[in-house]
């Protein structure tokens, strides 16, 4: 295996990859040799993301999918494995945020946030785990948030989803580590993307999508006898 392409031949599926962090992760993994499958709900943005990757010389499979729906996940996995091979890296990046006082939150917003940010991780992991178990190897990286550790006004729904994701990640790691599967969570602070809620933070001092992508690459190239269970990612300067 080439030292500059440590993921050569490996297949990585990145969810929520039509823009921002997910797109940066796809580029970063491709740069070190991975074959890339991306998905997102918005097919138009997904096509644009695939075109962007192809302009960088990356061969990519783009599959429209709502990963909060089990019915969308089976074809996503099937198309990826038929086109590229067995999935060896799963990056659960898809996420949404609805912010505001808890007393004003709607039930539909709760369902949307928890289904996208938490249920999707369960569904996707359940789908790829049997193959990883049979091969006794694999990486699952969950993009969580420092909001999974810190409360803030207006963050009830989002924080609940990310606190839950960290608990899920730790339990998944214990369930799967006997089979050589490594589960990790990355907790970034605010990242300068269109996802971030309005704030007075200086975007030049915020984390960039490429910072999260670098952390993912670090995790999936870790030596096989150990794994990085959690990464807390903060900007050098407070925005």
Please tell me whether residue 121 adopts helix, strand or coil conformation: helix
Active site (annotated) includes residue 220: no
Instruction: Label each residue of the chain as H, E or C.
Output: CCCCCCCCCCEEEECCCCCHHHHHHHHHHHHCCCEEEEEECCHHHHHHHHHHHHHCCCCEEEEECCCCCHHHHHHHHHHHHHHCCCEEEEEECCCCCCCCCHHHCCHHHHHHHHHHHHHHHHHHHHHHHHHHHHHCCEEEEEECCHHHCCCCCCCHHHHHHHHHHHHHHHHHHHHHHHHCEEEEEEEECCECCCCCCCCCCCCCCCECHHHHHHHHHHHHCCCCCCCCCEEEECCCCCC
**Active-site hit among 158, 176, 181, 190:** 158
Mention every residue, 6+ apart, whose C-beta is less than 8 A from residue 181: 129, 132, 133, 136, 137, 138, 139, 140
Structure tokens, 67: 């990963």
Q: What is the largest CA-CA distance in the chain?
A: 55
Catalytic residue set: 158
């Amino acid at each position: 295996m080439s030292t500059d392409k440590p993921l050569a031949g490996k297949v990585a599926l990145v969810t929520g990859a039509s823009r921002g962090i997910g797109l940066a992760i796809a580029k970063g993994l491709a740069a070190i040799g991975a074959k890339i499958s991306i998905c997102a709900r918005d097919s138009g943005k997904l096509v644009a993301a695939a075109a962007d990757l192809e302009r960088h010389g990356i061969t990519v499979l783009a599959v429209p999918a709502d990963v909060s729906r089990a019915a969308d996940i089976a074809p996503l996995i099937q198309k990826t494995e038929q086109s590229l091979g067995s999935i060896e890296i799963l990056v659960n990046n898809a996420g949404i945020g609805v912010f505001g006082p808890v007393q004003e939150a709607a039930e539909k917003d709760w369902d949307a946030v928890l289904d996208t940010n938490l249920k999707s991780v369960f569904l996707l992991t359940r789908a790829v785990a049997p193959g990883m178990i049979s091969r006794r190897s694999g990486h699952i990286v969950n993009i969580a948030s420092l909001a999974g550790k810190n409360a803030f006004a207006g963050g009830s729904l989002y924080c609940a989803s990310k606190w839950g994701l960290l608990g899920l990640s730790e339990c998944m790691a214990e369930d799967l580590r006997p089979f050589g599967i490594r589960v990790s969570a990355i907790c970034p602070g605010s990242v300068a993307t269109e996802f971030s809620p309005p704030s007075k933070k200086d975007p030049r001092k915020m984390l960039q999508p490429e910072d999260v992508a670098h952390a993912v690459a670090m995790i999936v190239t870790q030596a096989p006898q150990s794994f990085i269970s959690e990464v807390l990612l903060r900007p050098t300067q407070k925005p």
